[in-house]
Structure 1
């Protein structure tokens, strides 16, 4: 290879490197744009589902403080520990879990009864849009959050099977519901929440 050809290759490599280095870039990473676009696309589904707002407070069970999830009603982040400052029932469900469908309807009926403790449903192993669609189909308007990374179940050390419910006491203690595999009546829900 002649000296002139070598210099031409060096100049070409440097020119390509300069173009790459100076090429304009977006200020926002592409992943964030995709996430924002996906969240915006759920607006009509959120409106159609008309879910009750997610609770927001301070305090709650220590084991869940700092565990952030997405509220299905509005797409905003929620600290689960802070959202449950008093007695409540936390229910894990997924769109593909057929027994969860029945249990969600029962929990909806229970939550509309006078004196019912708040119920928070946690969508796991499913997409937000699919969860909103199912809740709309079932007519369930309970406050619901999406735990994409399964952070809530991991914080509670919950087994992977669904559905699964926990009762959060007024003192912040968390107890797994073990008496019933699936809650099939309002009376059963009343029994487990005490």
Structure 2
């Protein structure tokens, strides 16, 4: 009888563990957009998300509040070169598209790949925003990925960041850059179309760190 009771207890314990494990899997597999607590890497189902552009009726009031600077425009006769040649994406702050390769040809530009659900991005955007206001700063252009345009605009408004951003709706910018599946990422785009990733630091915490990384890359290539 004692042995029989022990077997029953063992069976019950196993069944409970199976149920708990199943519930945990359901909870993790809900497909929700990662929230601001997520880490540097894209978590769970986020790798399957795509950026979305809501209707103009939804975006226009958010654009007015965010007051982003205009996206760069294609220069006359500019065709662009390098990996971003021919890559055209919607502007986050305006209802038009941007040919990145053709628009960013006159001077070095910082490209920052980010998302509103990324906790590290929320820390980094203010540093980039402060850097962008400096007199000797090179232009900063954000690339919103795997995110709703409305959420991206809300974050820019919350952080007081006004530098222009584009929306990588189908991942074309990330593919062109050969970007790994993490955010944030920052690249230095040269006037000839060459692109170099800034690996140190992986996440900018201050405007001075941004300025230092830019000086380091530009000085080594001069």
Q: TM-score, normalised by structure 2?
A: 0.68
Do the aligned residues in 2 keep the contact of 1:61 with 1:84 (CA within 8 Å)?
A: no
Post-superposition shift, 1:170?
3.0
Q: Distance in 1 between matches of 2:133 and 2:141?
A: 13
1:53 aligns with 2:73: no
Do the aligned residues in 1 keep the contact of 2:90 with 2:166 (CA within 8 Å)?
A: yes
Instruction: Tell me the residue number matched to 2:134.
Output: 113
Instruction: Say which SS state the counterpart of residue 83 (structure 2) adopts.
Output: helix
**Larger C-alpha radius of gyration, 1 or 2?**
1
Correspondence for 1:175 among 178, 196, 199: 196
Q: Distance in 2 between matches of 1:60 and 1:189?
A: 25
User: Which consecutive segments of 4 or more residues in structure 1 shift more than 6 A?
Assistant: none
Q: Distance in 2 between matches of 1:136 and 1:36?
A: 17
Q: Distance in 1 between matches of 2:54 and 2:207?
A: 39
RMSD: 1.7
1:64 aligns with 2:81: no
Any stretches of 5+ residues in structure 2 without a counterpart?
A: 1-51, 216-222
- Post-superposition Cα deviations, 1:4-37, rounded to whole Å, max 9, x if no partner, equal xxxxxxxxxxxxxxxxxxxxxxxxxxxxxxx997
Q: Distance in 2 between matches of 1:44 and 1:149?
A: 24
1:42 aligns with 2:62: no
Do the aligned residues in 2 keep the contact of 1:70 with 1:78 (CA within 8 Å)?
A: yes
Instruction: Tell me the residue number matched to 1:17.
Output: none
Instruction: Tell me the residue number matched to 1:166.
Output: 187
Post-superposition shift, 1:101?
1.0
Instruction: Say which SS state the counterpart of residue 55 (structure 2) adopts.
Output: helix
Instruction: Say which SS state the counterpart of residue 142 (structure 1) adopts.
Output: coil
Post-superposition shift, 1:41?
2.4
Any stretches of 5+ residues in structure 1 without a counterpart?
A: 1-34
Q: Distance in 2 between matches of 1:159 and 1:153?
A: 8
Relative to 1, partners in 2 of residues 1:170 and 1:95: Cα closer, same or farther, differing over 3 Å? same
Instruction: Tell me the residue number matched to 1:32.
Output: none
Q: Distance in 2 between matches of 1:129 and 1:90?
A: 20
Do the aligned residues in 2 keep the contact of 1:87 with 1:170 (CA within 8 Å)?
A: yes
